[in-house]
Amino acid sequence: MELNADFSKRAVVHAAQIPWKPSPMAGVDRRMLDRIGDEVARATSIVRYAPGSHFSAHTHTGGEEFFVLEGVFQDEHGDFPAGTYVRNPPTTSHTPGSREGCVIFVKLWQFDMQDRNQFRVDTNVDSYTGVDGAPGVTRLALHSDDNEDVCTEHWAPGARLLLEAPDGMEVLVLNGGFEESGEAFSKDSWLRLPCGSATDAVAGPDGAKVWIKRRHLARPPVAPAT
C-alpha cells in the first residue's frame, strides 16, 4: 500500500474529516496520513484505542515514535497521559493499550536502526522558550540527533511564520489552528513539506499548538525490509 508516498510533493490530511478505519486488532482504529507498505509499513497515522482495548505484545523492529493526543495510553512501562511524547527505538517491545481509551499520533519504521535511546517527555510540565527571529513563537525541544529535530511549539494568535524545510518538515496541529497556502488547518490536521521548500503560515485567532519534525526527509524514505 502507498499513501502520500511521493515525498517530493507537499502533502496534507485533515484527519478529523476522514473516517476511522479498523486495524487488525479489535477496538483499535486509525486514520492513515502516509504509508509505504502493508501491515509492516513505514507509516504515519493517528490511532484510536477504545476503552479497554489493546494490541498484542510486539517488538519495534523499526522503532516507534508517538505523541498522546487524548486520554491515557498505557503499557507495562507506565501511563502516558495526553501531551506525552514517547520514543521506542528498534529492539524495544511492549503490550500497548488503554483502560479509558486514548488517541495517539504515531510514526513507525522511521528510526536510525542503530538508535537505542528510549525516553518520554511530558510537554505539559516542561518549559517553552522563545525562538529567535520568530515573534510570538515558543518552543519545547523533544528530540534532536544527526537525522532529525522534533519539537512542540506554541504560536500566538495571529503570529506569522516562515516554515522553511531544506530537509523536509511535518506539522501536526495539536490545538488551535493556522492558515497556509490559503488552506485552514485545525486540530489533527497534518502538513508535510518536501525538501527544499518554504511556505508562510499565520496562526488563527486562538493561536496554535503544533508538533513539528524537521530534517528527517534528507534520506529517501523506504519501505521496511521484511
Position 114 in a domain: yes
Neighbouring CB atoms inside 10 A of 206's CB total 10
* Count of domains for the chain: 2
Shared-domain flag, residues 53 and 81: yes
Q: Give the structural domain span for 96.
A: 19-122
pLDDT more than 70, % of the chain:
100
For 155-170, write each residue's pLDDT tens digit.
999 999 999 999 999 9
Q: Is 83 left (phi over 0), alpha (psi -120 to 50) or beta?
A: left
For residue 212, the model assigns a pLDDT of 98
Q: Taking the CA of residue 142 as centre, how many other CA atoms within 13 Å lie in the half-sphere pointing to its CB?
A: 26
Position 175 in a domain: yes
Shared-domain flag, residues 185 and 160: yes
Where does a domain end: 122, 146, 175?
122
For 146-157, write each residue's pLDDT tens digit.
999 999 999 999
**Domain CATH for 56:** 2.60.120.10
β pairing state of 129-130 and 137-144: antiparallel
Shared-domain flag, residues 49 and 102: yes
Neighbouring CB atoms inside 10 A of 16's CB total 12
Shared-domain flag, residues 151 and 86: no
For residue 125, the model assigns a pLDDT of 84
